[in-house]
Structure 1
Amino acid sequence: MPPEQKDWGIAGDVQAVSRTITVRMGDNMRFTPGHIEVQEGDTVRLRAENQGKVLHEMVLGTRAELDQHAQMMQKFPGMEHDAPYMAHVRAGQRGDIVWQFNRPGTFDFACLIAGHYQAGMTGTITVVPRSR
């Protein structure tokens, strides 16, 4: 199946990765860094490193999409889901998201495990327009 275009971009080709950004996740319910900036058109490997002792995830999206998904996760905490814009990372492990940011704007990322999003485990990505 071809990759699905989302408001925040499209699944990227690992061969096109121009940079890797490591984002650390911890049991303090924070991402470090909490803000990322990329150029429109860049294909980036987001490497999610779980430095905590519990499962965390990194999910890209718009605030509205993440809010809706977080509500569903509250109702069904054991729900399993997988998409190219998600990385589920067990304690002490790491996971990658390869994503092409082909639309400018400000987007979000979050851990949607029940209670984590509500505790503030969120961040932002600014996609800076390419000068044409």
Structure 2
Amino acid sequence: MQIKPLLGTIALAIALPSAALAAGTHAGGHGHDKAGHVQDGGHHAMMKIGQPAKAAPTRTIEITMRETEDGRMIFEPGDLKFAPGETVRLKITNAGETDHEFVMDTVDAIEEHKALMEKFPEMEHDDPNAVRLRPGETGEILWTFGEAGTFKYACLIPGHHDAGMHGPLHVN
């Protein structure tokens, strides 16, 4: 019996599940293509903030993510407003020098997600309400807003939210 190959196989079997858990992923199995476009075929459950668009958008909102000279990280515009049932194209551009993401959800869900990202910083997004972009990339989210309320959008890459990269999203 060869002990070394057997030990290597056992070590690999133990390490792989741990690596997958540490890398993390978001539940839902819902996809964006590499440009950040929401794809059909995944989980399209209605969230409080709404759902992926099934109709053509009525307007396009351009959002820029970047860093400032004083080290803050920001979204422009800093406050987003929509009507319940409104379908929009969120065209999101990373004009910064580091990766950024745009995630929109309830305030509580953003805070929970932020804490999870701090534990698992390599977590990859695969949600219809989020897009992660490298410097210079542009992506989009096609979205129909749901119930009225105040929600939140943020970059949840560790440290970015704390550097100012978040804002209110109003549906009224």
Using structure 2 for the length normalisation, give the TM-score: 0.70
Residue 61 of structure 2 is aligned with which of 8, 16, 21? 21
Structure 1's unaligned 5+ residue stretches are none
Q: 2:80 & 2:101 partners in 1: Cα distance?
A: 17
Q: Offset of 1:56 from its aligned partner?
A: 0.3
Query: Does the Cα contact within 8 Å between 2:56 and 2:87 map onto a contact in 1?
Result: yes
Residue 145 of structure 2 is aligned with which of 101, 124, 129? 101
Residue 89 of structure 2 is matched in structure 1 by 45
Residue 136 of structure 2 is matched in structure 1 by 92
Residue 126 of structure 1 is matched in structure 2 by 170
> Are 2:56 and 1:12 equivalent residues in the alignment?
no
The answer to which structure has the higher strand fraction is: 1
Q: Offset of 1:127 from its aligned partner?
A: 1.1
Q: 1:95 & 1:124 partners in 2: Cα distance?
A: 20
Q: Offset of 1:9 from its aligned partner?
A: 0.8
* Residue identity in the other structure for 1:11: P
The answer to which structure has the higher helix fraction is: 2
Larger radius of gyration: 2
Residue 30 of structure 1 is matched in structure 2 by 74
How many equivalent pairs are there?
127
3-state SS in 2 of match to 1:73? helix
- Map residues 39-78 of structure 1 onto 2, 5 A cutoff: 39-78=83-122
- List structure 1 segments (4+ residues) > 4 angstroms apart after TM superposition: none
3-state SS in 2 of match to 1:30? strand
Structure 2's unaligned 5+ residue stretches are 1-41
3-state SS in 1 of match to 2:118? helix
Superposed CA deviations along residues 85-129 of structure 1, whole A, max 9, x for unmatched, are 00111101111111101211111100000110122210111112x
3-state SS in 1 of match to 2:67? coil
RMSD: 1.2
| Higher-RCO chain (CA-CA 8 Å, sequence separation at least 6) | 1
